[in-house]
Each structure stands twice: as structure tokens, then as C-alpha cells.
């Protein structure tokens, strides 16, 4: 097992960004040293550091430093390390969805039949694989915090479809959100505070004023037109991701109406939720963050309840990838 290496610390917009590279370890077979993948991952698991379940009353999840969970499968040991999660902290996990075929096949053991059936509905294999990796990564990440096998987690859907963990699967009160676009995925995790994340691959052919007039508020359309033409594509996706993140955070889906609220975006503008209809006080309930550095060619945003959060970014590494 490799310890996580810090890639840097940065303070922006009242939040501290701690950036980590999380590296998992896949032990080789003790007999012949081969990295052959297990047929399944058993639900038996152990924890090197005892989980503290006091997250609801202010204590961090896990002891100070790192939580190490070990999942057993026959003679194979698959380990990952997850830092403690305290109230007010938001963990942002970046996911590379372009996994090798063997790694994608191995990750299917994390998904229940219903999710595998959803994946099978995609016409193209690349889309099926991205779905499998994104949802398996989500289960892997949440299972590490909860000291639970990824395949054991149970999910429910809100009235507008926003997923949540069943209370029996979530003694810590974790909140989370998943987004994926192109070859990149992103998961946000917090304690109790509702949140939404969005990542979008930048596409110049999609970022036009005609699309903005359909989905942005009148104030946002005016702001986009005022941005210099060579910066408009980036500005468009700044606005788009921030609006999507808010819609996902409030859990009302597109029924809320993308033109019913305004976000700040563009060169020199501090990310912010400016106004929400019909209650002008609603904007003060949320904090909007630009996720940077985002993967090259992408824009990403986070909206979360409250203010003055500590954001920590990490790269998820597939624990089942061949060595």
C-alpha cells in the first residue's frame, strides 16, 4: 500500500483546497505472483483503523490521518486509504472512466443486477463501460468511508430521482453526488450537507448563444454575450456546470427550471449563486465553487449547503486494475 502523496494546497474563495493523489494497491497472487483478477469480491472486510461513528456530532469519520479498509477475496487483498471526513469538509474525487477492458469487467462485481441492466441498455460499448466504471467507483468510494463492501450498499431515489443511500447503509449520514462526461467522472462526498457536482467536457460546437437562450436566465445570456468571443466557450461551460450543480444539489431536477436562478461566471467573476426564484433568501443557503484544476478539456463545479467549506480533491484509482 502506498501512502497518499500531497500534490498541493491552495486557498480560493474562502475554501482551502487540499489536492491528493490516492494510490491503491492490488496484491499479487502469493503462489505465482500473477495479478489475475478475482471472480468476485466477498463482503467480508476488515478495518485497520476503527471507524468513529460520531460524524453527526462533530467528530471526523475515521481517526486522524487515514482510514484503511481491507476487502478480502480468497487469497487476494485489495486495499484503499481514505482520509478522515469532518463536518464542513467536502471531498471531490476525480475518476478516469477510460479503464482497460479487463479492469471494467472486474468492476462489474461491485454492481447489482439493476445497475448492470441499466448499463446494458447503452448501444455503444464505450458508454456501457463508462457507466460501469462511474457507478463502481461511486460504490468503491462510499464503501471506503462506511467500512462496507461496495456491492453491499443500497440506494434509494428521491421524489425527483436524486440518489441517496438507504439509512441502514449510511450510519454516518454521508451525502454524495456523481457526475460524468466524456472520459471523466467526479464524485462529491460530505457529511449531512446536501451537495451537487457537475463535470462537462468542453465542446465548442455546443457552446453557443442559441443554446444559452434556451437554458440560461436572461441575466446570464446578457453576461455571456458580454464575454470576449475567444473566451465565450469557457464562460458557457462555467455557467452550464454551475447551473447543473445547483439543480442537482437542491434535488428538484430540471422541473425547477434552469431560468429560475442566476449564477456568476466569466473572466474575473467570483463563482456565486446570485438569485433564486421565488424566494430571494434561497441563494444565501448555498455556496458555489469552481472545481479547479479540472481535467484538461473539462469544466466542473460544486454547490453545497452552508459556507466556508474545506474542499479536498483526490484521484480515484481502480482497486481492481491489473498490476
Structural domain includes residue 320 = no
158 and 45 in a common domain: yes
Which of 44-53, 114-123, 205-214, 261-270 has the least mean pLDDT?
A: 44-53
Structural domain includes residue 322 = no
The domain total for the chain is 2
Structural domain includes residue 102 = yes
Q: What is the pLDDT of residues 65-81, one digit of tens each?
A: 333 333 333 332 333 45
Percent of the chain with pLDDT over 70: 73
Query: Rounded to whole angstroms, how far apart are CA atoms 157 and 165?
Result: 8
Structural domain includes residue 323 = no
User: Is the predicted pLDDT of residue 40 greater than 70, yes or no?
Assistant: no
Q: What is the pLDDT of residues 140-153, one digit of tens each?
A: 999 999 999 999 99
226 and 115 in a common domain: no
292 and 213 in a common domain: yes
Expressed as residue numbers, the domain containing 223 is 199-305
Q: Which residue has the higher pLDDT, 57 or 276?
A: 276
128 and 258 in a common domain: no
With cut-offs at 50, 70 and 90, classify the pLDDT of residue 323: low
CA 233 to mean position of chain CA atoms: 24
Residue located via cell numbers 463535470: 199
27 and 125 in a common domain: yes
Kindly report the average pLDDT of the chain as a whole number.
78
140 and 207 in a common domain: no
155 and 50 in a common domain: yes
110 and 183 in a common domain: yes
178 and 145 in a common domain: yes
Q: Which residue has the higher pLDDT, 100 or 72?
A: 100
Q: What is the pLDDT of residues 273-316, one digit of tens each?
A: 999 998 888 999 999 999 988 889 999 999 999 988 999 999 99
Q: Which long-range contacts (CB under 8 A, 24 or more apart) does 190-193 make?
A: 190/85, 190/89, 190/90, 190/91, 190/304, 191/55, 191/56, 191/61, 191/85, 191/86, 191/87, 191/89, 192/55, 192/56, 192/87, 193/90, 193/304, 193/305, 193/306
Q: For the domain that residue 278 is a member of, what is the CATH number?
A: 3.90.470.20
pLDDT of residue 83: 65
pLDDT of residue 107: 96
Closest CA to 17 of 86, 90, 85, 66: 90
287 and 220 in a common domain: yes
User: Is the predicted pLDDT of residue 171 greater than 60, yes or no?
Assistant: yes
Structural domain includes residue 171 = yes
Structural domain includes residue 50 = yes
16 and 43 in a common domain: yes
276 and 133 in a common domain: no
Residue located via cell numbers 494510490: 23
Q: Are 239 and 203 in contact (CB under 8 A)?
A: no
With cut-offs at 50, 70 and 90, classify the pLDDT of residue 13: very low
Structural domain includes residue 321 = no
Residues 6+ apart with CB under 8 A from 222: none
Structural domain includes residue 177 = yes
Q: What is the pLDDT of residues 217-261, one digit of tens each?
A: 999 999 999 999 999 999 999 999 999 999 999 987 766 778 899
pLDDT of residue 11: 39
With cut-offs at 50, 70 and 90, classify the pLDDT of residue 207: confident
Amino acid at each position: 500500500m502506498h501512502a497518499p502523496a500531497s500534490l498541493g494546497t491552495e486557498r480560493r474563495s474562502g475554501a482551502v483546497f487540499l489536492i491528493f493523489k490516492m494510490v491503491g494497491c492490488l496484491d499479487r497472487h502469493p503462489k505465482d505472483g500473477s495479478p489475475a483478477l478475482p471472480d468476485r469480491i466477498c463482503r467480508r472486510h476488515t478495518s485497520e483503523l476503527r471507524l468513529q461513528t460520531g460524524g453527526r456530532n462533530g467528530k471526523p469519520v475515521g481517526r486522524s490521518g487515514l482510514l484503511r479498509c481491507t476487502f478480502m477475496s480468497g487469497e487476494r487483498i485489495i486495499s484503499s486509504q481514505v482520509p478522515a471526513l469532518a463536518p464542513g469538509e467536502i471531498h471531490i474525487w476525480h475518476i478516469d472512466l477510460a479503464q482497460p477492458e479487463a479492469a471494467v469487467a472486474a468492476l462489474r462485481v461491485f454492481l447489482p443486477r439493476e445497475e448492470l441492466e441499466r448499463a446494458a441498455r447503452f448501444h455503444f460499448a464505450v458508454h456501457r463501460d463508462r457507466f460501469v466504471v462511474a457507478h463502481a467507483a461511486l460504490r468503491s468510494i462510499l464503501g471506503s468511508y462506511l467500512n462496507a463492501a461496495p456491492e453491499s450498499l443500497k440506494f434509494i431515489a428521491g421524489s425527483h430521482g436524486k440518489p441517496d443511500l438507504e439509512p441502514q447503509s449510511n450510519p454516518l449520514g454521508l451525502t454524495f453526488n456523481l457526475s460524468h462526461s466524456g472520459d471523466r467522472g467526479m464524485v462529491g462526498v460530505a457529511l449531512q450537507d446536501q451537495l451537487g457536482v457537475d463535470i462537462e467536457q468542453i465542446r465548442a460546437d455546443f457552446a453557443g448563444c442559441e443554446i444559452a437562450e434556451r437554458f440560461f436566465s436572461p441575466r446570464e445570456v446578457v453576461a455571456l454575450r458580454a464575454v470576449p468571443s475567444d473566451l465565450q466557450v469557457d464562460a458557457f461551460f462555467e455557467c452550464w456546470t454551475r447551473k447543473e450543480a445547483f439543480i442537482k444539489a437542491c434535488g428538484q431536477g430540471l422541473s425547477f427550471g434552469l431560468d429560475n436562478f442566476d449564477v456568476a461566471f466569466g473572466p474575473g467573476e467570483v463563482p456565486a449563486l446570485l438569485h433564486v426564484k421565488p424566494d430571494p433568501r434561497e441563494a444565501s443557503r448555498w455556496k458555489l465553487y469552481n472545481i479547479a484544476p479540472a481535467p484538461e478539456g473539462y469544466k466542473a463545479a460544486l454547490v453545497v449547503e452552508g459556507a466556508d467549506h474545506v474542499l479536498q480533491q483526490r484521484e480515484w484509482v481502480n482497486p481492481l486494475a491489473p498490476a
